[in-house]
Structure 1
């Protein structure tokens, strides 16, 4: 009897998962195959999402530049100009607060661009796209840029001590070296894991629920997984970037 119940239950589970996999695709899908230097490559959902996110940021930057150039300093700024000023001021305050007034303004452009790219990538799921940050190739690339920036500034401000500090004390040098190598891995895996889990969970919910319920109930799921969690992860990635880079200023 129990074996029969388990068999029926397993059948329903398999049927539900099969229906979910057939109706919802939350994996990376290749659309166009092409050959480059003898290697077969694909244009995937990640590439398409990144292109859309980049175009959105470029269009926003061009419109903002046009609005700023045409702004009259003797008139009250419009709503869009106020939004631009608020974003710039918030990013400047954030970088100065975490990296100091001497270095903070130098990194405002990078931190601001990084935050907006990650945030818009995380929110792209609201518009039917697969978030680029749910692909480890994207998050690893972002983490490696931060990793390169950390060591560039380390050699710039700490000189040779940036390397010799890894062997102080000598007994803990293996741990220090592993810690340096783990920095890009922890940065990339944290962002990747959180966004991917939200993408998979949302895909399963859409695949398992009746069509009528998917019109209403998943809204709360999107509010948490896409908006709240996506914003928090973008903030955490930028905050850790500022902390790691600012640590290289200590022995200047």
Structure 2
């Protein structure tokens, strides 16, 4: 697996490379803006089904932010929602086969993590002043200053690498599975295709399993029947280069590595952002 490709370079400030990550991020941003305009227009007192679903989602988001950060921090909800949707769809866009997942690039997750750190520092400075913020690095004792600094540095690093590692790791594993299945397809067809008799027997077994599975409604027999049937047909036709085993199996793995993992990582990143920013913005009476 290689890094994001550079499509072209803008000749400004020494050259600004336009990579796959930038294009994917821009596409996600445009899609979210268009979706927001379409879902937020023509609001009525007697809501339609679309409006009910949108209002329910927005209410859930506001409730999650208020429960995690406190009601006084409810104004952070649009930012948290934008961060969550950008992260989730930035991971899902890689499933199109056209664009690369923007979250599979470390520069994306590092930028988001640094934004969280800057927001925390800005809220602390606003609440306590610059001297009060700097004083937090030396409490409770001066000896703790190095550890406090390490903690502030480790926070964005851990957030960035956690998100990036899960998405990029899933992409690498999926690529390895595709490569392994393509090799297995060629090896199996090459082995079966050496004998016409063996190919015919495999074809016959597949037909029997498929018919029996359809009659008795057995999913396992249907699957093995289709695999044996396709293997026999391709072997008889001499099409040993068809990677037919790649059909279906990677899709099951994609449900976890792409769909489930992408959604979970977006939620975890958003929750960590809410926790860190919420701690830096306590209620007015506590501040």
Does residue 187 in structure 1 map to residue 167 in structure 2?
no
Does residue 83 in structure 1 map to residue 53 in structure 2?
yes
Structure 1 contact 143–188 (Cα < 8 Å) conserved: yes
Shift of 1:88: 0.5
**Residue in 2 aligned with 1:121?**
90
Does residue 162 in structure 1 map to residue 129 in structure 2?
no
- SS of the residue corresponding to residue 71 of structure 1 reads coil
> Of 25, 29, 48, which aligns to 1:54?
29
Structure 1 contact 26–199 (Cα < 8 Å) conserved: no
- SS of the residue corresponding to residue 7 of structure 2 reads strand
Does residue 42 in structure 1 map to residue 17 in structure 2?
yes
Question: Counterparts of 1:107 and 1:90 in 2: how far apart (Å)?
Answer: 14
Shift of 1:26: 5.2
Does residue 146 in structure 1 map to residue 116 in structure 2?
yes
Structure 1 contact 111–238 (Cα < 8 Å) conserved: yes
**Residue in 2 aligned with 1:8?**
none
Structure 1 contact 198–225 (Cα < 8 Å) conserved: yes
> Of 151, 170, 180, which aligns to 1:208?
180
Aligned length: 221
- SS of the residue corresponding to residue 195 of structure 1 reads helix
In structure 1, the gaps of 5 or more residues are 1-24
Task: Flag the structure with larger Rg.
Answer: 2
> Of 109, 119, 132, which aligns to 2:78?
109
User: Greater shift after overlay, 27-36 or 190-199?
Assistant: 27-36
The TM-score, its normalising length taken from structure 2, stands at: 0.73
Higher relative contact order (CA 8 A, sep 6+): 1
Question: Counterparts of 2:280 and 2:127 in 1: how far apart (Å)?
Answer: 7
User: Greater shift after overlay, 195-204 or 29-38?
Assistant: 29-38
Change (3 A) 1:155 1:222: same
Does residue 225 in structure 1 map to residue 257 in structure 2?
yes
Structure 2 contact 3–105 (Cα < 8 Å) conserved: no
- SS of the residue corresponding to residue 119 of structure 2 reads helix
Does residue 29 in structure 1 map to residue 61 in structure 2?
no
Question: Counterparts of 1:191 and 1:227 in 2: how far apart (Å)?
Answer: 14
In structure 2, the gaps of 5 or more residues are 183-242
For residues 77-129 of structure 1, the C-alpha deviation after alignment (integer angstroms, 9 at most, x for no partner) is: 223212211221111011100111122x1100100110010010111122122
Question: Counterparts of 2:245 and 2:252 in 1: how far apart (Å)?
Answer: 12
Superposed CA RMSD in Å reads 1.6
Question: Counterparts of 1:71 and 1:38 in 2: how far apart (Å)?
Answer: 47
Structure 1 contact 26–203 (Cα < 8 Å) conserved: no
- SS of the residue corresponding to residue 50 of structure 1 reads helix
Does residue 240 in structure 1 map to residue 209 in structure 2?
no
Shift of 1:49: 1.0
**Residue in 2 aligned with 1:63?**
38
